[in-house]
Amino acid sequence: MLHNASTLRDSNSGPAVRERVLRLFEVVHLRRRAHITMRDLRSALSWFLLRDHGCADVKGLLAQLDQLGPERLVALYYTEAFADQEFALPISASGPDRAVDRLVRQLRETDVGRVNHPVLDRQLDYDVDSAVPWMTFDGRSKVAAAQLRRYAAGVPRPSDSIALDVVAEARRNLTAVLRRWAFYERRDNSWRDMLPYTSVGLLESVISAKTPEERATTRTTLRDRVVEAVSVAEGVRNPLLRQNYLALRVSRVAQAAIRSYRLFPKDDFVIEVSVPAYGDFLEFAPMQSNWFRYGDPHDCESHSTY
């Protein structure tokens, strides 16, 4: 627990780690699955730091570390707090699991350990120390790094004596653990690419642009992505066609020899974000008012919104 607190309050690297924690909360906020209260935030941050363990719990765990293995200790470090239960290391705790905590449950849905990064995964598996540029924490104990490497060294590799499915599951769990450590403690800005939602930055730019020029650019970018995505989903593979038109299939005949499409020029579509009248007086997030509009809004025959 001291390791978690020392990480966040470190004068040099602590602000960077806190920024990444904040980013995960922002992703949950942008998903708009629930209204998050201060009570939810306090509960999630308490779980993030303490994992419902006290000093006596940690003392007992350290006394049984040789029997239980280092993974029980690694599971209590802050990097594992919001790990998806399917890919998380086991912890021993009394009382109900925090899956019942709605904010923790949503944060687990943003688990960076589930996002595959083939190049990074190979580097982490080959040599953890040189895989990414790591932060330094002057006032933090080295015990956590030692336990992590002890856990990694104990994960089996392919051999004739261990079933392949057992090895694959163990290596997959190890890779997820290392990804989470890399997300929080890598020194470069590539941590942003490790989020499970790669378009979250574009979404933020669309709904909270600071200038008219930025607003127009980001909405055009989003419109182009939406148009191309719909066309690809309809089965259009020609790049020039799908990048310039929104294509909708006319018929849904299975295994048709010829497909017919209706083509709508992408320039006829507009992304709109409506701003309420009280926008100048109250803080708000215009997430519920995004429109994908086609045609002239004053022409009832050609105007449609989604």
* Tokens encoding 299: 């022409």
Mean pLDDT of 134-162: 85
Segments making up each domain of the chain, as ranges: 2-194, 200-305
pLDDT at 140 over 70: yes
At residue 46, what is the residue type? S
> 139 to each of 11, 149, 221, how far by Cα in Å?
9, 20, 45
**Beta bridge pairs of residue 249:** 261
Q: What is the mean pLDDT of residues 21-37?
A: 87
Structure tokens at 250: 């006319």
70 in Cβ contact with 154 (< 8 Å): yes
| Structure tokens given for 295 | 């045609």
Provide the mean pLDDT of the chain. Answer: 82
Whole-number pLDDT of residue 272: 78
For 264-296, what is each residue's pLDDT tens digit? 998 888 887 766 655 566 666 655 555 667 765
3-state secondary structure of 247: strand
Neighbours of 19 (CB within 10 A): 11
Question: Is 304 strand, coil or helix?
Answer: strand
Give the pLDDT mean for 131-146.
Answer: 87
Of residues 50 and 85, which shows the higher confidence score?
A: 50
Whether the pLDDT of residue 26 is over 80: the answer is yes
The residues that bridge with 263 in the sheet, in sequence order, are: 247
pTM of the model: 0.78
Please write the tens of the pLDDT for every residue from 241-264.
898 999 988 877 777 778 888 899
Please enumerate in sequence order all residues whose Cβ is within 8 A of that of 61, keeping only pairs 6 or more positions apart, or say none: 53, 68, 72, 73, 76, 92
- Asked if residue 302 has pLDDT above 50, the reply is no
Residue 301's pLDDT is what? 40
- For residue 92, the model assigns a pLDDT of 58
Tokens, residue 88: 């998380």
Q: What is the pLDDT of residues 65-122, one digit of tens each?
A: 777 778 888 888 899 889 887 766 666 555 445 556 888 888 998 889 888 889 998 9
Beta strands (DSSP E) in the chain are 245-249, 261-265, 269-273, 290-294, 304-305
Give the tens place of pLDDT for each residue, 188-236.
999 988 988 888 888 888 877 778 888 888 888 888 999 999 999 998 8
